[in-house]
Structure formats: C-alpha cells, structure tokens
A and B are shown apart, each in its own frame.
Chain A
Amino acid sequence: MDVAAGRVPAPGATSARWRRKLRKVGFGFSVLVIVSPAILVFLWMLSLSLKNEIDNLAYPPVFIPGQLTLRNFVQVFAENSMGL
C-alpha cells in the first residue's frame, strides 16, 4: 500500500474524473441535438433532389434510394435561364 500510494490516485478524484467525462459526453450530446436539425433538413433536401419522383412520394420515406438521378438538376437548368 505504501509503495502504491504514489501511483493510486486519491478516492475522490476517480469519481470527479467520471463526472467530468459524463459532463463532456452530455455537452457533446447537446451540441449534437442543437446542430442536427440544422443539417438534417439540408441533407433531406439533398436527398429529395437526387431521387426520382416515385421515391420522393414513398412512405416510409426513402432516405438513400436504390436509384440516384441527376434528372431534377438537369431539368432545372434546362427550363430556367437563371440569368446566365
């Protein structure tokens, strides 16, 4: 015990370390909660633009379709001059 005294940390310090870790995880979780709505909607928008109409109207929603398509983008640029 005397020999190990130098290396084993004091009893209160272990739980303090766990508490710090827990707080960090909790903080990370709250960051996730805050940022996810922001990015998920944009990701959904991206998903919608790369799918065919039939997948876009499907329920349960299709997040990653079997068939990706660039048709929507082609159509947008073909139909609108967009001042270009």
Chain B
Amino acid sequence: MNIITLPASLDERYFEPMVRTLEAAPEGRLLFDATHVRWADPYGMVGVLALGEVARRRGERAVFKMPDSPDVVSYMGRMGFFEHAEPIFDLNGPRPRSRHDGASDVLLEITPVNSHADVHTVVDLVNRRGLNILTSQLNYPMREAFQFSVILSEVCQNIIEHAESSGWVATQTYNWTKKVGRKVVVIAVMDLGIGFRASLAGAHAARYDHWDDGAALEAAFMHGQTRFHDPGRGQGIQQIRKYVARWGGRISIRSGTARIMDVPAWDEGVPLEKELPYLPGAQIGIVLPALVDASTSQPAAAAGRTGR
C-alpha cells in the first residue's frame, strides 16, 4: 500500500507535499496516515477530502488512518470531517460518534456546496452563529462582519458557476500569535471540477500566446475575466481580493498546476507558482487577521505583494 503521511500541521503550508506524493504514487491502494497530525485547519481538512476523492476517482477508496491525538480527532469530528470522509475513505480507527452540531467554537464546519441553495445555507449559518465570533474575537465592526458573509457567498458561487462540480467550504478562527500576532479566520473552499483553465479557455485562450493554468489564473484573478460575456460577471474574485487587501489578509487560488496569491507583508508566499503537481478543480484559501482597531478597520500590515 502506498502511504501519504499527513503533516503534523495539516494546513495550506504543507498541502503541496501531499499533492506531490499523491501524483507520484504508483498504482495501488493509498493510505492517508494521519497518525502524527497535531493540528488541522479548514484548508488541511478539506484538502485531505479533495485528495481522497482524487484517489477514489482513480479506482480505489483510500484508507484514512486516524490521528493518535484524541483532541485532534475530536476537533476534526466537530468540523464535520468524518461525515464527509466516510464516502471517500475507508476510515481506520476509532472516530467520534456524532458530528459537530453547532458547537460554539466552530464558525462553519465542512459544508458541501452543490447548489445555490447551499450558498444560502452557508450565509445563514455564518450570520446565525458567526457574527459574534467575528465581532468579539476578531474585532470586526458589524458592517465588516456582514461583508465576511459576502466573501463566503461569492467564493462558494465560484464553484457552482465555474467548476461544473460540487465542492466543500469550511471556516474557523485560530490564534496565530507567532506568525501574525493575533487571531485569524481561515476559509477554505475547494472543488475538483474543470478548473480555471478549462472554464475560461473558450472565451479567452485564443488571445494568449501560451494558455496554461497560470495564464488562466492571472486572467481571472488579476483581470476579473470569466467565461461569460457579461460585464456584470467576474466581480466575485475582484471584490473578495479588495476586502482581503483592506483587512490585511491573504488569498490564494490553486488550480491545475498553478497557484496565484495576494501576499500580505506578514506572509512569505510566492505570488505566482507554476509547474506544481496537477490537481483538478480549484482550491481557494483565505486568511483574514483580526483588526487592530475596530473603529478604523485597520489591519496589522496592509502592504504586500500581488499575484504578478
């Protein structure tokens, strides 16, 4: 059996090595070994679901070996990980009996996005239980907290409008004292659909000398281009970038073999990466730091680098 060892910190930083291992794995059954996972965030958990689904599509359900840490198992349970992992993996090891049912520490557990109705569900859930977290823990004024719902709505619609596939969304707050010096909210939205290159190819590929995943991401991310010939389209990602920049956050979009991101001053990411191991669909990660001063909506450090 081919083993993919999950990192101790199951988050965006360590996602790429997992994709690389999956791509390089010879034919045969896969084991996702989560034994040593000590910490997991939405990007990491949803990312494992995506990789497991890729493995399943290759022909055989992978095995998921549970983390040793009961705290991690409990947390992943509250985030709804195992409920969504069940159709994808053969789960190996004891797991919590029931999933999260609105626990106070969860902003938005892993939620499927299959239709526009699911987007309403996401916005309703975040407004019902998330506003308090956003205003009290992250110092967001109420108006900005509502804009957080707009970000979630637009980023989820991106799946439905462009992926021709279903996906997942999850979001949670964490204390990133070491890296950012404050709390953050992490959003992960992923699908395994057609990806940006295929979505935009019909409308835009002919205008590019070299049309690849990187070019498609630049077209959508930097220039707001979509497959629709409607000036009202393509605003979603642009507006999300605007909010993320205003709040000093980071947004990355990975699609196919490329990743583009707006990198804030506190981060060390690369604005545009190409020739990554292939993964279908789109994987979006957003990190929003708590505001320093709620009255002025000031982030810690707004200056950064953009995906070009």
A and B found bound together: no
Instruction: Please give the residue numbers on chain A whose beta carbons come within 8 Å of chain B beta carbons, in ascending order.
Output: none
Instruction: Please give the residue numbers on chain B whose beta carbons come within 8 Å of chain A beta carbons, in ascending order.
Output: none
